[in-house]
Structure 1
Amino acid sequence: MSSIAKKIQEQQQAEQQRTVQTVIVHKAKISFGEVVLLCALAIAIALAGVKIVSNQTAIYETNKSIQQVEAKIDEQVKVNNDLKVEVSELSTYERIWKKAAENGLMLNENNVKVVEE
Protein backbone atom coordinates (compact mmCIF):
# COMPACT_ATOMS: atom_id res chain seq x y z
CA MET A 1 0.00 0.00 0.00
CA SER A 2 2.78 2.24 0.46
CA SER A 3 3.36 2.31 -3.27
CA ILE A 4 -0.26 3.22 -3.92
CA ALA A 5 -0.12 5.92 -1.28
CA LYS A 6 3.14 7.12 -2.77
CA LYS A 7 1.59 7.30 -6.23
CA ILE A 8 -1.42 9.21 -4.98
CA GLN A 9 0.83 11.61 -3.12
CA GLU A 10 2.99 12.14 -6.22
CA GLN A 11 -0.13 12.73 -8.34
CA GLN A 12 -1.40 15.31 -5.89
CA GLN A 13 1.96 17.08 -5.90
CA ALA A 14 2.07 16.97 -9.70
CA GLU A 15 -1.43 18.45 -9.90
CA GLN A 16 -0.49 21.18 -7.49
CA GLN A 17 2.56 22.03 -9.55
CA ARG A 18 0.55 22.04 -12.79
CA THR A 19 -2.17 24.29 -11.51
CA VAL A 20 -0.90 27.79 -11.87
CA GLN A 21 -2.84 30.46 -10.21
CA THR A 22 -3.99 32.98 -12.75
CA VAL A 23 -4.62 36.50 -11.59
CA ILE A 24 -7.35 38.22 -13.48
CA VAL A 25 -6.63 41.92 -13.91
CA HIS A 26 -9.72 43.95 -14.62
CA LYS A 27 -9.11 47.01 -16.71
CA ALA A 28 -10.76 50.05 -15.30
CA LYS A 29 -13.35 50.93 -17.89
CA ILE A 30 -14.65 54.45 -18.06
CA SER A 31 -18.39 54.54 -17.91
CA PHE A 32 -20.54 56.49 -20.32
CA GLY A 33 -21.42 59.05 -17.65
CA GLU A 34 -17.76 59.69 -16.94
CA VAL A 35 -17.09 60.17 -20.66
CA VAL A 36 -19.94 62.69 -20.84
CA LEU A 37 -18.61 64.52 -17.79
CA LEU A 38 -15.07 64.64 -19.20
CA CYS A 39 -16.36 65.97 -22.52
CA ALA A 40 -18.45 68.59 -20.74
CA LEU A 41 -15.40 69.63 -18.70
CA ALA A 42 -13.24 69.90 -21.83
CA ILE A 43 -15.89 72.01 -23.58
CA ALA A 44 -16.27 74.24 -20.52
CA ILE A 45 -12.50 74.81 -20.36
CA ALA A 46 -12.39 75.61 -24.09
CA LEU A 47 -15.29 78.05 -23.80
CA ALA A 48 -13.69 79.74 -20.79
CA GLY A 49 -10.47 80.15 -22.78
CA VAL A 50 -12.31 81.68 -25.71
CA LYS A 51 -14.20 84.03 -23.38
CA ILE A 52 -10.97 85.17 -21.71
CA VAL A 53 -9.30 85.83 -25.05
CA SER A 54 -12.30 87.77 -26.37
CA ASN A 55 -12.46 89.85 -23.18
CA GLN A 56 -8.76 90.66 -23.45
CA THR A 57 -9.27 91.71 -27.08
CA ALA A 58 -12.15 93.98 -26.09
CA ILE A 59 -10.06 95.50 -23.30
CA TYR A 60 -7.19 96.09 -25.72
CA GLU A 61 -9.47 97.83 -28.22
CA THR A 62 -11.01 99.99 -25.49
CA ASN A 63 -7.60 101.01 -24.17
CA LYS A 64 -6.49 101.83 -27.71
CA SER A 65 -9.50 104.10 -28.27
CA ILE A 66 -8.96 105.75 -24.87
CA GLN A 67 -5.36 106.54 -25.79
CA GLN A 68 -6.47 107.99 -29.12
CA VAL A 69 -9.03 110.22 -27.40
CA GLU A 70 -6.44 111.33 -24.83
CA ALA A 71 -4.05 112.22 -27.66
CA LYS A 72 -6.77 114.30 -29.35
CA ILE A 73 -7.53 116.02 -26.03
CA ASP A 74 -3.85 116.86 -25.53
CA GLU A 75 -3.66 118.26 -29.05
CA GLN A 76 -6.78 120.37 -28.49
CA VAL A 77 -5.39 121.69 -25.19
CA LYS A 78 -2.25 122.81 -27.03
CA VAL A 79 -4.36 124.55 -29.67
CA ASN A 80 -6.44 126.24 -26.97
CA ASN A 81 -3.33 127.43 -25.14
CA ASP A 82 -1.90 128.82 -28.38
CA LEU A 83 -5.15 130.66 -29.01
CA LYS A 84 -5.16 132.10 -25.48
CA VAL A 85 -1.64 133.42 -26.04
CA GLU A 86 -2.70 134.91 -29.36
CA VAL A 87 -5.74 136.57 -27.73
CA SER A 88 -3.58 138.04 -25.00
CA GLU A 89 -1.13 139.35 -27.62
CA LEU A 90 -3.89 140.84 -29.75
CA SER A 91 -5.69 142.46 -26.82
CA THR A 92 -2.81 144.64 -25.59
CA TYR A 93 -3.66 148.33 -25.12
CA GLU A 94 -0.95 149.48 -27.51
CA ARG A 95 -2.35 147.37 -30.33
CA ILE A 96 -5.90 148.53 -29.63
CA TRP A 97 -4.76 152.21 -29.70
CA LYS A 98 -2.88 151.59 -32.92
CA LYS A 99 -5.90 149.95 -34.63
CA ALA A 100 -8.19 152.70 -33.35
CA ALA A 101 -5.87 155.37 -34.78
CA GLU A 102 -5.71 153.53 -38.13
CA ASN A 103 -9.50 153.52 -38.33
CA GLY A 104 -9.69 157.24 -37.49
CA LEU A 105 -10.99 156.94 -33.95
CA MET A 106 -10.01 159.64 -31.49
CA LEU A 107 -9.87 159.48 -27.72
CA ASN A 108 -12.47 161.72 -26.15
CA GLU A 109 -11.92 161.79 -22.42
CA ASN A 110 -15.54 162.74 -21.77
CA ASN A 111 -16.76 159.49 -23.33
CA VAL A 112 -14.30 157.20 -21.55
CA LYS A 113 -15.72 155.11 -18.76
CA VAL A 114 -13.62 152.92 -16.51
CA VAL A 115 -14.79 149.36 -16.33
CA GLU A 116 -13.48 147.19 -13.54
CA GLU A 117 -13.28 143.49 -13.90
Structure 2
Amino acid sequence: MSNLARKMQQESIQQQEVKSIKKVTKHAKSLLSPGEKILGVTCAALICLGGVTIISNQSKIYDVNKEIQTTQSSIAVLEKSNKELDAQISNLSNFERLREVAEKLGLDFSKDNVKVVQ
Protein backbone atom coordinates (compact mmCIF):
# COMPACT_ATOMS: atom_id res chain seq x y z
CA MET A 1 0.00 0.00 0.00
CA SER A 2 1.11 3.41 -0.73
CA ASN A 3 1.31 6.30 1.64
CA LEU A 4 -1.70 7.88 0.10
CA ALA A 5 -3.82 4.78 0.75
CA ARG A 6 -2.70 4.63 4.34
CA LYS A 7 -3.51 8.28 4.89
CA MET A 8 -6.94 7.78 3.41
CA GLN A 9 -7.51 4.74 5.61
CA GLN A 10 -6.39 6.61 8.76
CA GLU A 11 -8.62 9.58 7.90
CA SER A 12 -11.63 7.33 7.48
CA ILE A 13 -10.89 5.67 10.86
CA GLN A 14 -10.57 9.08 12.51
CA GLN A 15 -13.85 10.25 10.97
CA GLN A 16 -15.59 7.14 12.27
CA GLU A 17 -14.16 7.80 15.78
CA VAL A 18 -15.38 11.41 15.67
CA LYS A 19 -18.86 10.24 14.67
CA SER A 20 -18.93 7.69 17.46
CA ILE A 21 -17.80 10.33 19.97
CA LYS A 22 -20.52 12.66 18.79
CA LYS A 23 -23.10 9.95 19.33
CA VAL A 24 -21.90 9.38 22.88
CA THR A 25 -22.05 13.08 23.80
CA LYS A 26 -25.74 13.38 23.10
CA HIS A 27 -27.56 15.31 25.83
CA ALA A 28 -29.63 12.99 28.01
CA LYS A 29 -33.11 14.15 28.77
CA SER A 30 -33.68 14.93 32.49
CA LEU A 31 -36.15 12.79 34.39
CA LEU A 32 -37.40 15.71 36.50
CA SER A 33 -38.54 19.11 35.36
CA PRO A 34 -37.11 22.24 37.06
CA GLY A 35 -40.37 22.75 38.96
CA GLU A 36 -40.25 19.21 40.32
CA LYS A 37 -36.63 19.73 41.37
CA ILE A 38 -37.57 22.91 43.26
CA LEU A 39 -40.46 21.10 44.97
CA GLY A 40 -38.17 18.22 45.92
CA VAL A 41 -35.54 20.51 47.41
CA THR A 42 -38.22 22.46 49.28
CA CYS A 43 -39.74 19.27 50.72
CA ALA A 44 -36.30 18.01 51.76
CA ALA A 45 -35.56 21.33 53.48
CA LEU A 46 -38.91 21.24 55.31
CA ILE A 47 -38.28 17.67 56.47
CA CYS A 48 -34.83 18.64 57.78
CA LEU A 49 -36.25 21.72 59.51
CA GLY A 50 -39.00 19.61 61.10
CA GLY A 51 -36.43 17.10 62.36
CA VAL A 52 -34.31 19.84 63.91
CA THR A 53 -37.40 21.36 65.55
CA ILE A 54 -38.46 18.01 67.02
CA ILE A 55 -34.97 17.34 68.38
CA SER A 56 -34.70 20.81 69.96
CA ASN A 57 -38.14 20.42 71.59
CA GLN A 58 -37.16 17.01 72.99
CA SER A 59 -34.00 18.56 74.40
CA LYS A 60 -36.01 21.28 76.14
CA ILE A 61 -38.43 18.70 77.54
CA TYR A 62 -35.50 16.66 78.86
CA ASP A 63 -34.05 19.75 80.59
CA VAL A 64 -37.40 20.58 82.21
CA ASN A 65 -37.86 16.97 83.41
CA LYS A 66 -34.35 17.01 84.85
CA GLU A 67 -35.13 20.25 86.71
CA ILE A 68 -38.40 18.77 88.02
CA GLN A 69 -36.60 15.71 89.37
CA THR A 70 -33.97 17.89 91.05
CA THR A 71 -36.69 19.99 92.67
CA GLN A 72 -38.59 16.90 93.83
CA SER A 73 -35.48 15.45 95.43
CA SER A 74 -34.78 18.72 97.27
CA ILE A 75 -38.42 18.80 98.43
CA ALA A 76 -38.07 15.25 99.76
CA VAL A 77 -34.94 16.25 101.70
CA LEU A 78 -36.73 19.28 103.18
CA GLU A 79 -39.77 17.19 104.15
CA LYS A 80 -37.53 14.70 105.92
CA SER A 81 -35.82 17.57 107.76
CA ASN A 82 -39.22 19.01 108.74
CA LYS A 83 -40.34 15.65 110.15
CA GLU A 84 -37.17 15.40 112.19
CA LEU A 85 -37.69 18.94 113.52
CA ASP A 86 -41.33 18.14 114.39
CA ALA A 87 -40.13 15.11 116.32
CA GLN A 88 -37.63 17.32 118.18
CA ILE A 89 -40.34 19.85 118.98
CA SER A 90 -42.64 17.19 120.40
CA ASN A 91 -39.73 15.77 122.38
CA LEU A 92 -38.68 19.15 123.78
CA SER A 93 -42.24 20.22 124.61
CA ASN A 94 -42.94 17.09 126.64
CA PHE A 95 -44.54 18.00 129.97
CA GLU A 96 -42.14 15.88 132.02
CA ARG A 97 -39.11 17.49 130.42
CA LEU A 98 -40.47 20.98 131.05
CA ARG A 99 -41.09 20.07 134.69
CA GLU A 100 -37.49 18.86 135.11
CA VAL A 101 -36.08 22.02 133.55
CA ALA A 102 -38.26 24.18 135.79
CA GLU A 103 -37.09 22.33 138.91
CA LYS A 104 -33.44 22.68 137.86
CA LEU A 105 -33.92 26.40 137.50
CA GLY A 106 -35.44 26.54 140.96
CA LEU A 107 -39.00 27.28 139.95
CA ASP A 108 -41.81 26.11 142.20
CA PHE A 109 -44.26 23.77 140.50
CA SER A 110 -47.75 23.82 142.00
CA LYS A 111 -50.97 22.76 140.35
CA ASP A 112 -52.68 26.03 141.23
CA ASN A 113 -50.23 28.10 139.14
CA VAL A 114 -50.27 25.85 136.05
CA LYS A 115 -52.67 26.59 133.22
CA VAL A 116 -53.06 24.36 130.21
CA VAL A 117 -53.13 26.25 126.93
CA GLN A 118 -53.99 24.61 123.67
**Fold match (TM-score > 0.5):** yes
TM-score normalised by the chain length of structure 1: 0.71
Q: Which runs of 4+ in 1 moved over 4 A?
A: none
What secondary structure does 1:114 align onto?
A: coil
1:43 to 42, 45, 50: 45
Instruction: Quote the Cα distance in structure 1 between the aligned partners of 2:59 and 2:97.
Output: 56
Residues 28-107 of structure 1 aligned to structure 2 (within 5 Å): 29-107=31-109
1:20-50 deviations in Å (ceiling 9; x for gaps): xxxxxx8453221111111110000000000
Q: CA deviation at 1:55?
A: 0.6
Count matched residues.
91
Runs (5+) with no aligned partner, structure 1: 1-25
Runs (5+) with no aligned partner, structure 2: 1-27
Instruction: Quote the Cα distance in structure 1 between the aligned partners of 2:113 and 2:99.
Output: 15
TM-score normalised by the chain length of structure 2: 0.70
C-alpha RMSD of the superposition:
1.6
Tell me which of the two structures has the higher relative contact order, counting C-alpha pairs closer than 8 angstroms and 6 or more residues apart: 2
Seq. identity, %: 41
